[in-house]
Amino acid sequence: MATLCRPSVSVPEHVITMEETLELAREHHAGHPQLPLALRLIENTGVRTRHIVQPIEETLKHPGFEDRNKLYEREAKSRVPAVIQRALDDAELLTSDIDVIIYVSCTGFMMPSLTAWLINEMDFPSNTRQLPIAQLGCAAGGAAINRAHDFCTAYPEANALIVACEFCSLCYQPTDLGIGSLLSNGLFGDGIAAAVVRGQGGTGVKLERNGSYLIPKTEDWIAYDVRATGFHFLLDKRVPTTMEPLAPALHDLAGNHGWNASELDFYVIHAGGPRILDDLSKFLVVEPGAFRFSRSTLTEYGNIASAVVLDALRRLFDEGGARPGDRGLLAGFGPGITAEMTVGRWVQNGESD
């Protein structure tokens, strides 16, 4: 039995509000012919505050891809270990108990992966497996949960550590003036999350079945154009419509497990934006309140990419968790267009009821 334990989440200390975002858009894009549309779209995200690794004055500068990537590495090394330690403490494990580290990020690049530095810096065993995932974007949080589940299924007494580190603000491109880019400037935030999947014992979600689904011919709907200036985010206006084709995949995953996706007890869903959550509520036939954890993440932190799913789960824990035996669905969505999904039951100290 693999159990996803309580996530630890940290956001940077610099905060930008919705009002500040709108004023910056008016100031920097005063002559943009579609500025009124961009402002309306940003307001409709419902994002009230976001956290970023630098003051906004520094974020708006572009010193070059090299300097930004160095900042990504420096901030990751400064911030990630404490988040990991809290996740280990919550799971009642030591670094010596971890068998694989799954590190996900789409906002900076390191080789060797941060996993190698973590193994040395935090005294994980030298034979700890490393699984960095860099190109699944926001779906990587769900993929990390699924790969941890797979690993603990193959090695039932093993434990996996998931780490998501996203500094979306380091991908800001001042010369990108399309509506998708302007919307992204008001949607994405920075955050770090970590969680342990225990092969035996633990309190949280007992992972029972996982799956992946890619909508055909949508690989250019969410993408990076990699240039000398870094990662340029491309967002197609059709992305908000993707829940209609993805909802059947969620129904199929639950149905293959003998469950009805419309009748589960809790839902932990990637909050790409309010339209995503509204449409999924409609096509899954569940009450909008079922996605309250995801909406809270979106409102308070914005879209923190792969870390969203773990933060939404953290909010379920903060609410007191679910009842032993309660059934739930976790899902992350990202480039491809890809869905990474899992279903499981709430367990307390390794016991579901």
Runs of H (alpha helix) within the chain: 18-28, 35-44, 56-59, 65-91, 114-121, 140-154, 179-185, 243-256, 274-284, 292-301, 308-318
- Phi, psi (deg, nearest 5) at residue 154: -70, -35
- Phi, psi (deg, nearest 5) at residue 270: -65, 130
Contact 148, 162 (CB under 8 A): yes
Q: Which residue type does 334 have?
A: G
User: Which of 5, 106, 138, 171 does the annotation list as catalytic?
Assistant: 138
CA distance 329 to 119: 31
Contact 110, 167 (CB under 8 A): no
Q: Which residue type does 152 have?
A: C
Q: Which residues pair with 278 in a beta bridge?
A: none
Reply yes or no on whether 5 is catalytic. no
Contact 295, 46 (CB under 8 A): yes
Q: Known catalytic residues?
A: 138
